[in-house]
Amino acid sequence: MKLKKKVQNIIKRLWRIISKPEMLVLPGQLAFFFLLAIVPTITLIAYGASLFHVSFDFITNFVTKAFGNEITELIIPIVKDINITPAFLITIAISFYTASTGASSIIITSNELYNIQNSSFIKRKIKAIFMTFILVLLLVFLLLIPAFGDKIIELVSFVNINETVTKILITLINITKSPISWVITFILIKVIYALAPDKIIDSSYTNKGAIFTTIGFVITTELYSFFVNNFAHYDILYGGLAHFVVLMIWLYLLANIVTVSLAINSEEIERYQKKEQ
């Protein structure tokens, strides 16, 4: 009975936190700005891969598999014709600046939950841009290794850029697949949660939220991968927008996981503060 009551109290406290107005709007904001950040990040990664003479067929196949034809058609022409010019760098900077609004929301929400005063706009924005880059790299990592790792190995083997390089890539992908990928995911998420507040907090307070996020991210990404790989006719309702819709649903689920995790971290800090009093 004591355990049941304890669980009920925890659920009530979490629900109280999640029901706050700023928490209710956070998932939609994060999902939208995650999407804004994905395109410039994938563009940079694809451009970097092209500098190492990675086949455009390989890049195209991966982006298509992970994000669909619509995003592929948007990114690949840019990568093919791209030149590193001031205009290009300014465009990428503006893209990340805009997309960082999602991370800014995480920072402000964390400050609100932890009763911390917001820092200056410039400091918050710089940190938000850095957090956005980590978040998107994490999402790409989840797609590249745990979700589509086997498909990437097939592509690498088929393209066979160089026998030695191919063996190294396959070995790296196999090594970083679960459970090592879970550890990497946990570390990156823990860094994000520890960075978010505008005041240094004990990182141990973020452990439960980071564990919840890691499990949620891995399961949700696996479901996304399974759906994309096994349901060929999900475009019946939405036509050409189908993959964008599926991608947005995936990002929205991830955003909800982040929101619940912030509530878990907040509840953990509140519990420790009560103990110290």
Q: Contact at 8 Å (CB) between 58 and 23?
A: no
pLDDT band at 189 (very low <50, low <70, confident <90, very high): very high
The per-residue pLDDT for range 2-48, each reduced to its tens digit, is 677 776 776 777 777 777 776 778 888 888 888 888 777 777 777 77
Residue-level pLDDT at 81? 62
The whole-model pTM stands at 0.78
pLDDT of residue 156: 59
pLDDT of residue 211: 92
pLDDT for 118 beyond 70: yes
Confidence of residue 184 (pLDDT cuts 50, 70, 90): confident
More confident residue, 43 or 237: 43
Domains of the chain, residue spans: 22-276
Q: CA–CA separation, 272 vs 202, rounded Å?
A: 11
Whole-angstrom distance, CA of residue 202 vs CA of residue 275: 15
pLDDT-wise least confident of 109-118, 199-208, 233-242 = 233-242
Cis peptide leading into 179, omega within 30 of 0?
yes
In the numeric block, which tokens belong to residue 156?
């690498």
Q: What is the mean pLDDT of residues 52-63?
A: 68
The candidate with the shortest Cα–Cα distance to 251, out of 225, 272, 221, is: 221
Give the C-alpha distances (Å, rounded to integers) separating 145 from 60, 211, 222. 17, 19, 11
**pLDDT tens digits, residue range 165-183?**
666 666 766 666 667 888 8
pLDDT in tens, 126-150: 899 888 888 888 887 787 776 656 6
Q: Residue 234 pLDDT > 60, yes or no?
A: no
In this prediction, residues 180-204 reach a mean pLDDT of: 86
Q: Tell me the C-alpha to C-alpha distance, in Å, between residue 97 and each of 40, 47, 92, 131.
A: 11, 20, 8, 11
Report the distance separating Cα 217 and Cα 209, nearest Å. 12
Residue 161 pLDDT exceeds 60: no
Helical segments of 100-201, H only: 101-113, 121-142, 149-159, 163-176, 180-195
